[in-house]
Structure 1
Amino acid sequence: KDSSHPIACVFHCIFKLGALFLYLFGGVFAKDKKGAVSGASFIIVTVFCILLLAADFWVVKNVTGRLLVGLRWWNKVEGDGSTTTWIFESAETQNTNKFDNSVFWTVLYASPVVWLMLFIAGLFKFHFGWLITVCIAVALNGANLYGYYKCSSDQKAKFQRLMMRGAEAGAMAMIKNNVFGMLSKFSGGAGAQTQPPSNSYV
């Protein structure tokens, strides 16, 4: 009820949770009778984790950021084929739905932190094979975090410029009204003083 885009909020979280769940518990279900994860099971879990992470990256980059907070980032390859331009876009008006903003930014900041913690845990446990998935997760989530941080900075700058323009327009309107008011009072007073006295005859 509090969200303007509840489906977008769900998709903003569901792929992240799916990748985390599969990474944490996929190895448990993939163990053989000896308690070891087979090579085939490891590959299957890794591939599905990467697919979920890629789907999450695309959805957050192209859909949920635009719907929940009015932001979008992307890169454009120039005509020469060797130059890449990074573009950070923000809507002219800020999204006023606090629930959507909270869900978007909380999940966006929390995701790379969680994966970094899993990376450290994997190092201490010497699970170097599983760190492939973790490194990809950190890279994709970190890219979205950086992109939207830049978009947010651009949006704040636009909002400040909009506020300055509004303040300037308001100040000019106030000065204009005061000047016209003073001129009208001055012209009215001068007319009253120069009006010839009327003669009365008995």
Structure 2
Amino acid sequence: MDLSQPVEENYANPKTCFFHVLFKASALAFYFLSTLFVNSFVIIFVITVVLAALGFWVVKNVSGCILVRLRWWNEINEQGESIWRFQCLDQESLARINQKDSWLFWWTLYLNAVAWGIFGIFSVVRLEVDYLFVAVCFSLAIANIIGFTKCRKDARNKIQGFSSRTIASRFSSTLQSAFSLA
């Protein structure tokens, strides 16, 4: 065994990864399989939308916090304006995010939206009524993508701002100490 070879990184949170994928895949699988075997629009609609909503909630409130250390929510203030709120850990915690966990999180997020988009196109082409709940599932997937993308950008901006302030304060303290010694 060659110890100089880097050890391949494993998933840091395999259970969270499993449930992240499970909740996303369950809505897609149920929708796809039920359209083949079940003729009841109401049953397919209710179960698919409930599974998609559970997947949305799990990603937004559980797997996003654990796998990529990001969390977002949207509030409406008294004036009726939408305000995005973002939460992320400090720079050290963000630097320690497991790359496989992060990769799985982001790819599952995007592939889920692509799959619902494809199902939506097929529903419209077939002129089926199920495009209505496919649109609901697609909008939930897009909402998570938008929320987490904005959250990631906000986290990067905070880190860059913190780094800039730290460097500037160290530079100014170095200059002050250099001129005070002279």
TM-score (norm 1): 0.75
Q: Deviations over 1:43-85 (max 9, x none)?
A: 212211111001011111111111111111113354x595553
Q: Partner residue of 1:105?
A: 106
Q: Partner residue of 1:21?
A: 29
Q: Deviations over 1:82-131 (max 9, x none)?
A: 555331222222143111111111111221121111111111122x2211
Q: How many residues align?
A: 171
Q: Partner residue of 2:120?
A: 119
1:174 shift after superposition = 4.5
Structure 2 unmatched ranges of 5 or more: 1-8
- 8 Å CA contact 1:19–1:49 kept in 2: the answer is yes
C-alpha separation in 2, matches of 1:26 and 1:13: 19
Q: Partner residue of 2:162?
A: 162
- 8 Å CA contact 2:123–2:129 kept in 1: the answer is no
- Residue of 86, 89, 92 corresponding to 2:90: 92
- 8 Å CA contact 2:49–2:133 kept in 1: the answer is yes
1:132 shift after superposition = 1.8
Change (3 A) 1:81 1:62: farther
- Residue of 12, 16, 22 corresponding to 2:20: 12
* Paired residue type of 1:86: W
Identity of aligned residues (%): 31
1:169 shift after superposition = 4.0
Q: Deviations over 1:137-190 (max 9, x none)?
A: 11111111111111011001011112213322443455466557x74xxxxxxx
- 8 Å CA contact 1:72–1:88 kept in 2: the answer is yes
SS in 2 for 1:20: helix
Q: Partner residue of 2:146?
A: 146
C-alpha separation in 1, matches of 2:142 and 2:82: 19
C-alpha separation in 2, matches of 1:68 and 1:118: 28
| Higher RCO by CA contacts (8 Å cutoff, separation 6 or greater) | 2
Structure 1 unmatched ranges of 5 or more: 31-36, 184-202
TM-score (norm 2): 0.82
- 8 Å CA contact 2:67–2:97 kept in 1: the answer is no
State how 1:54-73 maps to structure 2 within 5 Å. 54-73=53-72
1:135 shift after superposition = 0.5
Change (3 A) 1:82 1:157: closer
C-alpha separation in 1, matches of 2:175 and 2:98: 36
Q: CA RMSD in A?
A: 2.2
C-alpha separation in 1, matches of 2:110 and 2:178: 50
